[in-house]
Amino acid sequence: MRLRATVGMGVLLSVLAATGCASSTPPLTEVKGVVLLDGKPLAGVRVEFIPGDSADRRLPFSQAETDDNGRYELRCENNQLGAVIGQHKVIVRRPSTRPAADAPPPPSGPAIPVAYQSVLNTPLTVDVKADQQSYDLVLKSK
């Protein structure tokens, strides 16, 4: 009987850990702003905030696509609005997937410099703070 109780407790703990009860989501805060390239809004691009060390895959990243005015509002990979509080590397690139067949094509625009498209080379970093929600991203083509 004692063995059955021990096995049952082990199964229960395994289920709780697998469903996320054993770990908590890091604090998130709202993050929005405008992406500018050479002073002009950059429409139809994907913005990704990668927290901490890019090798640390335990922290969730956040992303958004800019609207026609270059505005973005991040959504975390767990589908909650915002980004993890702390230091982030930021990449900006054109979306790699086509929208649905009935959706309008994404806006075309100027080429995004290669440096901004790689987490290893991007010069963009943002320190996301709990008391600040607006972060404009200024890119330069030269």
Tens digits of residue pLDDT in 113-138: 999 999 999 999 999 999 999 999 99
Q: Give the mean pLDDT of 108-114.
A: 85
The stretch 28-49 carries a mean pLDDT of 96
Confidence at residue 30, expressed as pLDDT on a 0 to 100 scale? 96
Whether 72 has a pLDDT exceeding 80, the answer reads yes
Residues forming beta bridges with residue 47, ordered by sequence position? 64, 92
The pTM of this model reads 0.74
Q: Percent of the chain, pLDDT > 70?
A: 71
Domains of the chain are 25-139 (2.60.40.1120)
pLDDT for residue 24 is more than 90: no
Residue 33 has pLDDT above 80, yes or no: yes
The mean pLDDT value of the chain amounts to: 81
**Which residue would you say has higher pLDDT here, 105 or 32?**
32
Cα→Cα distances 63→3, 33, 76, 89, Å:
48, 12, 7, 12
Residue 8 pLDDT exceeds 60: no
List the helix and strand counts (H, then E) for the chain.
1, 11
Q: What φ, ψ does residue 117 adopt, rounded to 5°?
A: -95, 0
What's the pLDDT band for 14 if we cut at 50, 70, 90? very low
